């Protein structure tokens, strides 16, 4: 049954000239059928450069919106429109404008985990892979960083600039279970602990490295360590295990994103059959948001 589902998805993908992009937090069966699995930056860049006319985005809504912002001529499909991101939803335009009024000399660097209309109000977007680079290249010594307070704090400690940090957080990473991480470290004392900067500072203090998901992949490739505790969404353990079958990985912190798991093979099949649900934005918002997203891809693309 599952094999038939997969064959039909692959057949329709060719018929509809579609490409399937999947974030590394997606369930294993979706990572397995995707054309590209990556972090939010890589997927944005792939969306911008793909020749396929349809992009099936297996991730959460802000990621599919970013693909649409960068590739307005393509049909961008999110197989489950309800796959949202509470972090992205914790910031709105009027509140950001109020903060900008309080700090008129600051430039706003906005994590891509944010709504398109808020992106439209910012100087540049960033991901966890390039946040420091984007902040350092912004022509101001004063930065408003939003909406993730943990990533903002992490970057502010590496920069000499003055930061005004939005008090938002990822519901999954911000409550990473410290006791679980410590228990894994006791079980695997030889392992390296890699954690995402969306986790709180007390977790970074235990870690060998604080990295976005793309950075974790590179780090493992360059390390001679055999075992790793992964302090980010559990899908990353599958991703790393497929890339490095000679190493061992375990989760750390019980970090689970239920929105990422709303995408299923059945929903992908439906999306390819009907070419819906399509991600669409008001063209004016899209154009303004494009400037901020494009600035990010120009800086690091
Ligand atoms: P990456 O940019 O590391 O892929 O992280 C995406 C994300 O949403 C983390 O919660």
Residue 241, both tokens: 């295990």
**In the predicted model, is pLDDT for residue 1 greater than 80?**
no
Mean of pLDDT over the chain? 97
Q: Is the pLDDT of residue 74 over 90?
A: yes
Evaluate the CA torsion angle 96, 157, 195, 43 in order and state its sign. Answer: positive
Task: Report the alpha-carbon distance of residue 112 to residue 56 in Å, rounded.
Answer: 19
Nearest CA to ligand 1 atom 4: 39
What pLDDT is attached to residue 2? 86
Does the pLDDT at position 301 exceed 80?
A: no
* pLDDT at residue 263, as a whole number: 98
d(CA 27, CA 133): 30
Judged by average pLDDT, the poorest of 15-29, 35-49, 101-115, 180-194 is 35-49
Asked whether 127 lines ligand 1 (CB < 6 A), one says yes
pLDDT band at 178 (very low <50, low <70, confident <90, very high): very high
Q: What pTM, to 2 d.p., does this model score?
A: 0.96
CB of 40 closer than 6 angstroms to any ligand 1 atom:
yes
**pLDDT-derived band at 78, boundaries 50, 70, 90:** very high
The DSSP code for 89 is G
Residue 210 alpha carbon to ligand 1 centre in Å: 12
SS3 139: coil
Q: Do β-strands 75-77 and 54-58 pair in parallel, antiparallel, or remain unpaired?
A: parallel
- Cα Dmax for the chain: 59
Strand partners, 235: none
Cβ(228)–Cβ(248) under 8 Å? yes
Q: Distance (Å, rounded) from C-alpha 206 to C-alpha 193?
A: 8
Closest CA to 280 of 126, 122, 118, 116: 116
Tell me, in angstroms, the distance from the centre of ligand 1 to residue 94's CA. 25
Closest-lying ligand 1 atom to the alpha carbon of residue 43: 4
Spell out the domains of the chain, with CATH numbers in brackets: 2-84+260-281 (3.40.50.10800), 87-169 (3.40.50.10800), 172-256 (3.40.50.10800)
């Amino acid at each position: 049954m599952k094999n038939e589902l997969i064959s039909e998805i692959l057949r329709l993908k060719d018929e509809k000239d579609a490409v399937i992009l999947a974030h590394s937090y997606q369930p294993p069966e979706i990572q397995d059928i995707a054309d590209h699995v990556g972090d939010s930056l890589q997927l944005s860049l792939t969306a911008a450069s793909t020749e396929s006319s349809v992009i099936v985005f297996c991730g959460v809504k802000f990621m599919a919106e970013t693909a649409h912002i960068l590739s307005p001529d393509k049909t961008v499909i999110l197989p489950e429109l309800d796959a949202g991101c509470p972090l992205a939803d914790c910031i709105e335009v009027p509140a950001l404008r109020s903060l900008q009024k309080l700090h008129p000399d600051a430039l706003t660097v906005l994590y891509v985990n944010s709504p398109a209309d808020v992106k439209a109000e910012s100087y540049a977007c960033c991901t966890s892979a390039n946040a420091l680079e984007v902040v350092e290249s912004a022509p101001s010594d004063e930065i408003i960083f939003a909406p993730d307070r943990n990533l903002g704090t992490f970057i502010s400690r590496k920069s000499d600039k003055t930061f005004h940090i939005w008090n938002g957080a990822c519901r999954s990473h911000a409550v990473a279970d410290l006791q679980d991480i410590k228990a894994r470290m006791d079980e695997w004392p030889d392992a390296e602990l890699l954690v995402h900067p969306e986790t709180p500072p007390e977790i970074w203090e235990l870690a060998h490295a604080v990295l976005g998901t793309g950075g974790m992949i590179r780090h493992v490739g360059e390390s001679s360590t055999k075992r790793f505790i992964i302090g980010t969404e559990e899908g990353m353990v599958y991703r790393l295990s497929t890339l490095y079958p000679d190493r061992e990985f375990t989760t750390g912190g019980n970090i689970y994103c239920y929105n990422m798991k709303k995408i299923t093979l059945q929903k992908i099949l439906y999306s390819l059959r009907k070419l819906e649900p399509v991600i669409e934005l008001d063209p004016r918002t899209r154009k303004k948001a494009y400037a901020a997203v494009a600035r990010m891809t120009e800086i690091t693309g």
